[in-house]
Amino acid sequence: MSSSSTKLREDFLRIPKLTADGENWMTYKDRLLWSIDACGFLSHLDGTEKKPVDPSMLLGRGALWTPTTSDEIRELAVYRTAMKEWCMGKAIMKQQIAGTIPDSLFIQVKNLATAGEIFTYLSNLFEKHSQVMSVELLRKLQDQKCPEKGNI
């Protein structure tokens, strides 16, 4: 990868930190999603990227299954490659989220298995909070009045 494309990828992955109270959740979430989508990893957050299925678990093969035919050997090689790619994407996304949240939130999500689980946890934590904040800001805006002979 050239240095310019490496720089471009680093810029895509640069996201402002989420505040501990989630005050900036709505913009954080959108910027995270845009950044991850630009890098081709959005499926790790939206649940469409599934962990590859181990061929030894298919069709009653036991855990001690050993491939014997050329098709089975090829199937196992494809699985290992897919698994490596899936694990790398999962790790990149988990690190991306971990690097943009405060330690207090990291402690809460560090044992979750996938980036999708982490993102769902954070969404559940802050979505309602963000809606309440939006309503409160709208109420404050509606209560604003221009003083008598004031300059708008």
Question: Does 142 fall in a domain?
Answer: no
Question: Does 47 fall in a domain?
Answer: yes
Task: Give the largest Cα separation in the chain, rounded.
Answer: 89
SS3 content of the chain, % helix, strand, coil (to 5): 65, 0, 35
> Residue-wise over 12-30: b if at least 16 C-beta within 10 A, else e?
ebebeebeeebeebeebbe
Question: Does 151 fall in a domain?
Answer: no
Is a pLDDT exceeding 90 seen at residue 122?
A: yes
Average pLDDT over residues 26-47: 90
pLDDT higher at 105 or 16: 105
* Mean pLDDT value across the chain: 83
Average pLDDT over residues 60-85: 83
Domain count, the chain: 1
Question: Does 148 fall in a domain?
Answer: no
Position 3 scores a pLDDT of: 61
Position 101 scores a pLDDT of: 96
Question: Does 141 fall in a domain?
Answer: no
Task: Please give the structure tokens belonging to residue 108.
Answer: 């809460």
Question: Does 143 fall in a domain?
Answer: no
Question: Does 69 fall in a domain?
Answer: yes
Q: How far is CA 150 from CA 141, 145, 146, 147, in A?
A: 17, 10, 6, 5
pLDDT digits (tens, 9 = 90+) for 18-31: 999 998 998 999 99
Domain that holds residue 10: 3-132
Position 63 scores a pLDDT of: 64
Is a pLDDT exceeding 60 seen at residue 129?
A: yes
Is a pLDDT exceeding 90 seen at residue 103?
A: yes
CA distance 56 to 74: 13
Question: Does 120 fall in a domain?
Answer: yes
